[in-house]
Amino acid sequence: MAGSTFASRSYRDAAIILRTQNLGEADRIITALTSANGLVRAVAKGVRRTSSKFGATVEPFMVADIQFVHGRSLDIVTQATSKNTYGPPIVADYDKYMAASTMAETAERLMDVESDPAFGGAQFRLLHGGYSALARGVHPADVVLNSYLLRALSSAGWAVTWTACVACGKPGAHTGFHPAASGPVCTDCRPPGTRTLDPATVELLHALQHGHWEQTRAFRSDIRHEATNVVISYAQHHLERRLTSLGL
């Protein structure tokens, strides 16, 4: 009977560890984005001991196959097998680490708002791809972060249309941008506080949102910096909170 009870309470899923916090003597609470069960918060017992068999597997930015058991308030991790060890290559570069932390914070915030499993699956694949790109180092960390933020917000319903004014629909790459307007605005529709972007920034933001990686290589660092500021203000406006990891 005990076995069948355990089986009915347990489930296995691929998960990306977003963050951890210490619990008691040697345990950790892990916050994981799973492929089919959305955001899961679970206790990983004894993982802070050096003798732990899966301590390294449930570190942030790792992708693992995890067996969970439903608990009263938090689930419990009973087994974890590593699938992709993105943690070590990400943490070896401080810029990648900061970008990966912001991506984790964003994913957790989005999943707190929207708990639909299909949405969770899309966020899982997006974050998995983002961490893979960071770990392989094929693009600069800021480019991967900005692309991830724009795409994550798009899948949450806040996609930006970069080829027309969001207020009147007038076609063209408009350079006025206001986070509350949810995209570029033409000269006739500019709300107060609209910032004027370099046309190259608009082009870069379009390429980032649609994953046109080859195009992103051509832009100067000041254009990339302006794009970062736009993406951050846009993300923080729609997430309705400041991203802690960006303030450091």
Interface positions with another protein (CB under 8 A): 19, 21-25, 50-51, 53-57, 59-61, 82, 85, 87-88, 91-94, 97-98, 101-102, 104-105, 244-245, 247-248
Q: How far is the CB of 60 from another protein (least distance, A)?
A: 5
Dihedral of the alpha carbons of 49, 64, 112, 206, in degrees to the nearest 10: 130
Q: How far is the CB of 28 from another protein (least distance, A)?
A: 9
- SS3 category, 62: strand
Determine the Cα–Cα distance for residues 16 and 132; give it in Å rounded to an integer. 11
Pairing of strands 27-34, 10-23: antiparallel
Which is nearer to another protein, 90 or 200 (by Cβ)? 90
**231: Cα separation from own chain's centroid:** 13
Q: How far is the CB of 74 from another protein (least distance, A)?
A: 11
Which is nearer to another protein, 61 or 234 (by Cβ)? 61
Q: How far is the CB of 92 from another protein (least distance, A)?
A: 6
Q: What is the phi-psi region of residue 172: left when phi exceeds 0, alpha when psi lies from -120 to 50, beta otherwise? A: left
Which is nearer to another protein, 144 or 197 (by Cβ)? 144
Which is nearer to another protein, 84 or 215 (by Cβ)? 84
Q: How far is the CB of 62 from another protein (least distance, A)?
A: 8
Longest Cα–Cα distance of the chain, Å, equals 71
Determine the Cα–Cα distance for residues 158 and 139; give it in Å rounded to an integer. 24
Q: Measuring CA to CA, how many Å separate 197 from each of 84, 175, 178?
A: 38, 5, 10
Which is nearer to another protein, 10 or 85 (by Cβ)? 85
Q: How far is the CB of 246 from another protein (least distance, A)?
A: 8
- CA 55, 60, 66: angle at the middle one, nearest 5? 60
Q: How far is the CB of 130 from another protein (least distance, A)?
A: 16
Which is nearer to another protein, 97 or 158 (by Cβ)? 97
Among candidates 20, 25, 24, which has minimal Cα distance to 40? Answer: 20
Which is nearer to another protein, 23 or 69 (by Cβ)? 23
Of how many residues is the chain composed?
248
Please answer whether residues 227 and 204 qualify as being in contact, where contact means their C-beta atoms are separated by less than 8 angstroms.
Answer: yes
